[in-house]
Amino acid sequence: MNLKNEKTAIILAGLLIGVISALLVVFGNPANMGFCIACFIRDTAGALGLHQAAAVQYIRPEIIGLVIGSCVIALVKKEFIPRGGSSPMTRFALGFFVMIGCLMFLGCPYRMVLRIAGGDMNAVIGLIGFIAGILVGVFFLNRGFTLKRTYSLPKIESAIFPTAQIVLLILLITAPAFIFFTAVDGGPGAKHAAILISLGAGLIVGILAQRTRLCMVGGIRDVILFREWKLFFGFAAILVAAFITNLITGHFSLGFIDQPIAITDGLWNFLGMLTVGFGCVLLGGCPLRQLILAGEGNTDSAITILGLFAGAAIAHNFAMASSSKGPTFNGKIGVIIGIIVILIIAVTNTKKEKLA
Amino acid sequence: MIYIATFYSHFGAIRFKKKCIADGLSASVMPVPRSLSSSCGTCVTFTVSDEYYLDENINEEIEQIVCVEENKYRQIYQASDS
């Protein structure tokens, strides 16, 4: 595939993903949340009892679909490569604080795009913070930041995470008593499309994202590093397609106030997404990309997702997650600690030699 | 001839590019082409007048090196444990 074909493929994939994401809201997902990797991991953590926020507990089939879709297409295309060992605990910590940032803003970079497409201007402030975080991350990349190389691993090691998704799917379908589900009308966790629709959407997006390497962080990072716009076009295509679909389906509402599952505090929207952008550049990809890489056999990404899970659980157990009422004091402390920790990780993993 | 080297990290790519330029080669960094890898990392494309001499003490950050031929890549190096 040459560069022009790559661009065409990623734009078409982005358009399709944007439409699917907006339609999931029509089919029952929370507003401006056709997809949100952070929110859906948080919901799944709640369903497993890792936190007790009753409003956000549901095993989200979209996450399962993303991993399985990526895994299956990677196996078919012989791109399933068991690997890992690149600073796993550091990645866990980065994943943890990326989630703290996401739950301050109330969304991952993917949902940030969908929120903008739904007219939520608070997400534009988040986007500015996100870009600022990426710029800080690129500063360290250009000065020699590295989490060291990956190594080959036995297949069984890389099969565990995708297999766990099958287990989650079984738990969702059989709904045993020990799994927590938000009560009807009990909050965002109760709003979801039918399982098959959500799972199908996840599978399609997982396959498309694996084939195109779509990444919200990578798009902006590549523009800054290489003046290469290809991945960014995928990002933009999702925005345009979701925006048009929202207009057609009547899910567009422009403004800052009364936006669904959002805070209006500009400073903390900015700082929340700055944390996310900074952390994700060091990780090499956004939460969506981590799921796709985990499906391809990358256990470092699987560890990162476990960090996201832990971050989600702690955020709700320690009252750090924002709500429509606004950010919490604990959340602000969490984001500040997150920025400091990510900064320490960046500095301590940066080689002394100046590279660019 | 044009070659592309892929790396385990962005750091490795930038360091290799610097070495190429110090050796008088034309080199630049760019995103890894999709047809070469499902990784979204950084690669280095560099030009050598003859066949590339593969240093036995090759940079441990290098994952693979390919020679760019018409409509395809010919692999000339693959790290043993990747």
* Nearest neighbour of B11 by CB, restricted to A83, A218, A351: A351
State which residues form the domain around B38: 2-78
In SS3 terms, chain A reads as: CCHHHHHHHHHHHHHHHHHHHHHHHHCCCCCCCCCCHHHHHHHHHHHCCCCCCCCCCCCCHHHHHHHHHHHHHHHHCCCCCCEECCCHHHHHHHHHHHHHHHHHHCCCHHHHHHHHHCCECHHHHHHHHHHHHHHHHHHHHCCCECCCCCEECCHHHHHHHHHHHHHHHHHHHHCCCCCCCCCCCCCHHHCCCCHHHHHHHHHHHHHHHHHHCCCHHHHHHHHHHHCCCHHHHHHHHHHHHHHHHHHHHCCCCCECCCCCCCCCCHHHHHHHHHHHHHHHHHHCCCHHHHHHHHHCCEHHHHHHHHHHHHHHHHHHHCCCCCECCECCHHHHHHHHHHHHHHHHHHHHCECCCCCC
Count of the separate structural domains present in chain B: 1
- Structure confidence by residue, pLDDT tens digits, A24-47: 999 999 999 999 999 999 999 999
ipTM over 0.90? The verdict is: no
Percent of chain A with pLDDT over 90: 96
Report yes or no: B59 at the A interface, CB cutoff 8 Å: no
- Structure confidence by residue, pLDDT tens digits, A14-24: 999 999 999 99
- Structure confidence by residue, pLDDT tens digits, B64-77: 999 998 878 999 88
* Nearest neighbour of B34 by CB, restricted to A1, A74, A146: A1
- Structure confidence by residue, pLDDT tens digits, A78-102: 999 999 999 999 999 999 999 999 9
Q: Name the residue with higher pLDDT: A101 or B37.
A: A101
How far is C-alpha B16 from the geometric centre of its chain's CA atoms?
A: 8
- Asked whether the beta carbons of residue B12 and residue A6 sit closer than 8 angstroms, the reply is no
* Nearest neighbour of B40 by CB, restricted to A144, A149, A215: A215
- Structure confidence by residue, pLDDT tens digits, A241-287: 999 999 999 999 999 999 999 999 999 999 999 999 999 999 999 99
Residue of chain A nearest B82, judged by CA positions: A152
